[in-house]
Each structure stands twice: as structure tokens, then as C-alpha cells.
Amino acid sequence: MTSTVDARTPANLGPVNLGPARALSCRECGHQIPLAAEFACSECFGPLEVAYDFGRVTREDIEAGPKSIWRYRNLLPVPTDVQSFPNTEPGLTRLVKADRLGAALGVRNLWVKDDTGNPTHSFKDRVVAVALAAARQLGFKVLACPSTGNLANAVAAAAARAGWESVVLIPSSLEKAKILTTAVYDGALIAVDGNYDDVNRLATQLAAEHEDWAFVNVNVRPYYAEGSKTLAYEVAEQLGWRLPGQIVVPVASGSQLTKVDKGFRELGELGLVDATPYRVFGAQATGCSPVSTAYKAGTDVVAPVRPDTIARSLAIGAPADGPYVLDTVRRTGGAVEDVTDEEVVEGIRLLARTEGIFAETAGGVTVATAKKLVETGQLDPDADTVLLITGDGLKTLDAVADRIGPKAVVPPNAAAVTEALGL
Ligand SMILES: *Cc1c(COP(=O)(O)O)cnc(C)c1O
Ligand SMILES: [Zn+2]
């Protein structure tokens, strides 16, 4: 069965080919609608998510596929021939066995999923590639987003590669590096005087006015969100087709965390891995920790906050998927924890020192949270554990700039170097 596009999608396309995707389904009431550019349920305003009708998917087919997220195309809302369109080909980043970091944290078997290796150096290339592929099928021509930084990079680059126009909205206070690394792709970059939550509200208004703009995380959000499942697929495949015992995921809107869980569950249901139990942990910066606060208070209500943290890529004060993060961590036996900006910087430095990986502030949040979870007995030191490192430190140099530098400045002679080294 092929679904048809509803009247609110820009072009008259007839049936939409989005591979195994069959419908959009409401996460609250289960109401289903045909595949379209919709994100809220017409019955109850709950968030819509993609429902599938998976055919037979084998490990062999996946392993024989492209060296990018498209090896999982039969598990994503994208057309089967998705690779034939120019795209940034993200994914299949390194899963690093992190023994030295593990020893420092007291975790016996630790891996780091190093998503700094994506085309624009964050995990956002995954979600944007899926959003773009779906948006193309839905008839859009302009790629847009409100962003805390990494999404801006990913949208501007993906649009450039595809030959699309882009409209990217950012808070004007964003790190200079993230502004430049977006502007270089020469789309329409607009800095807004306000915080991310203001920018997001503005995007929702603009999405209603410009029906041919695909706001990746607004009107095509159900497709975009599915891109995060590829992190779970890759971790399982790279572990030799098995699930880890524990995974620590940074939380901004919370979408990534819920989709990592969805990815693990699908692999079990499809028989691609044994459906062994796993625990999902969320990581936030204390200066923007609405989900951690709700978790610790034992409530289901995520009260919005005004963000104040150096972890700007995670600074979403009103996280759309917050309640679903709480459901996921409680169901799997995980937790949500938060760490101070001081601990974030220590987390960045610890990862760099032990594994030679320079993460951005969000990575510092993940490492520092893992450390705290071990110290407080919430993370099992004997379970196979994966940390998601979702972005590159070169984009947030300011976080460490005041604290690190050369050990000494010396004249160009050997004796001076020896002396500086204390030898
Ligand atoms: C966007 C982002 C996240 C989290 O994304 P959500 O799905 O909104 O929770 C994590 N890390 C980095 C580096 C990001 O840019
Ligand atoms: Zn509903």
C-alpha cells in the first residue's frame, strides 16, 4: 500500500515513496494519518511519529550497504534510492573502545561513539540527511531550521550540497565558530535577538506562513527525529550485532534519546540482535536541566527553564520530548543526571587526555555525567557502556580557551625546551 500526500503538502505529488514508512501515528492517542508534512495530531495535538511496515531486513544486506547511514535505509523514512540524490552521506562514525577513559571513570568496558566524525562535525548531519530526503519526497524546495548551532551547520551544508536554498535561524548570542561554520555555506543565516526558545517559536510561525519551507525540526520533525535511530543501529552493528548494557545520551529536546531507544527496540523486534535489556541514561548541564530536575522530583511534568550554561547546543529550556525521555529512562531502568559547567570543562579535558578525542561542550556533559553516575552508583561499572559524543570541540573553543595553552614560551634553542620540560 502506498500512502498519498495530504492537501497541506506543497506539491501535487501523488503517492509518496518513503521506503518502509507507512503513516504518521500519534504518540499519545495512536491516531494515524497519511505521510505528510505534519507534526501534531489533529485529534489531541500529541506529537506524530513515523510508523513502518518493515520488510525482511538482514544483517548481510546492511553490511553490504553504503558506508553511511544509508546502509539502514530500509529502516528509515526515505526512498529506496536515497543515495542517488546528492547528500552529505553522514554516519558510520567510529565506535572507539575507550579503555583509558574507562579506567579513569571506573567502568570496565567502555566505548565512545565519536560523532565528531560527521561531515559538519556533529550528530545533526544524521537527522538533517533524513529530513532532507523526506522533504524532497514531500515536495519541498527550501530547507530551514531554528538552531542552537550544530543544526545550523548541518542544514546549511546539506542544502548547499543538494542545491537547495536554506533559511537558518539562530540566537544572536551563539558561539562565533558556529556562526562562521554556518555562514560559509552561504544560505540565508538570520541571527535573532533572543534565546533558542524564542527562535523556535519564531520558526513555528514562519513554518505556518511559508508552506514550501521544510523546517527540519518543526514541520518535518517526525522524519528528522528518525535519523537519530541510526546511532543505535551503528552502535549495535559495531559491537558485533548486540546491544550495550548501558548508554549515556546528551539531552536537548530529548529527541535523540528517545530515538536511540526506538532503534535498539526495532533491532530486537526484527531479530537483527538478541533483545537483551539495556538502560538509557540522559545527560544535561545543570544550567539547563529541566528533564533532570523532573526526573529527580519523580514527576512527569517538565517545567520550562531559562538556560544558562556553556553547553549551548543542549540549551533548550522547553524540551519537546522531555516527558518521553522520562518514560524511556524509567522504563529501561536508567536515569537523568546533570553536571555543572565546571564539570563540563573537566569532562572535555578528561576525554581529550585519555582518548585523544576533542569534544564540544555537549560531549563534556556526557562524559561528566557518566562520571557522576558511576560515583553515585547509578551506572553499573561492570556493564558494557557506550557514551555518545555528539559534537566537535573545535566549535566550542571558548569553553576551554582560558584554561589550556602552551606549557611554556621559549627561545628557539634546545636547552630552553629541556629546561621548560623540567629535565
Ligand atoms: C542537538 C544536539 C544534541 C541533542 O539533541 P536532541 O535530540 O534535541 O536532544 C546532542 N548533542 C549535540 C552536539 C547536539 O547538537
Ligand atoms: Zn493524538
3-state per-residue secondary structure call for 265-304: HHHHHCCCCCCCCCEEEEEEECCECHHHHHHHHCCCCCCC
CB within 8 Å of 155: residues ≥ 6 apart: 128, 143, 144, 145, 147, 166, 168, 187, 216
Within 10 angstroms of residue 284's Cβ, the number of other Cβ atoms is 31
Per the domain annotation, does 220 fall within a domain? no
Within 10 angstroms of residue 97's Cβ, the number of other Cβ atoms is 13
Per the domain annotation, does 277 fall within a domain? yes
pTM comes to 0.95
Mean pLDDT of 220-228: 98
Looking at the predicted structure, is the pLDDT value of residue 4 above 80?
Answer: no
Q: Determine the pLDDT at residue 175.
A: 82
Q: Determine the pLDDT at residue 239.
A: 98
Distance 33 CA to ligand 2 centre (A): 10
Q: Determine the pLDDT at residue 5.
A: 41
Q: Residue 370 is part of which domain span?
A: 95-120+227-401
Instruction: Grade residue 106 by pLDDT with cuts at 50, 70 and 90.
Output: very high
CB-ligand 1 contact for 391 (6 Å cutoff): yes
Rounded to whole angstroms, the Cα distance separating 47 from 35 reads: 14
CB-ligand 1 contact for 328 (6 Å cutoff): no
Distance 181 CA to ligand 1 centre (A): 17
Angstrom CA distances, 369 to 196, 347, 361, 378, stand at 23, 8, 12, 11
Q: What DSSP state is assigned to residue 143? A: E
CB within 8 Å of 218: residues ≥ 6 apart: 39, 145, 146, 200, 203, 204, 207
pLDDT of 348-360, one tens digit each? 999 999 999 999 9
Per the domain annotation, does 408 fall within a domain? no
Instruction: Grade residue 11 by pLDDT with cuts at 50, 70 and 90.
Output: very low
CB-ligand 1 contact for 254 (6 Å cutoff): yes
Q: Determine the pLDDT at residue 16.
A: 85
Per the domain annotation, does 290 fall within a domain? yes
Per the domain annotation, does 21 fall within a domain? no
Higher-pLDDT residue of 7 and 201 is 201
Mean pLDDT of 293-307: 97
Q: Determine the pLDDT at residue 176.
A: 87
CATH number assigned to the domain comprising residue 248: 3.40.50.1100
pLDDT of 329-355, one tens digit each? 999 999 999 999 999 999 999 999 999
Instruction: Grade residue 174 by pLDDT with cuts at 50, 70 and 90.
Output: confident
Number of structural domains found in the chain: 1
Per the domain annotation, does 273 fall within a domain? yes
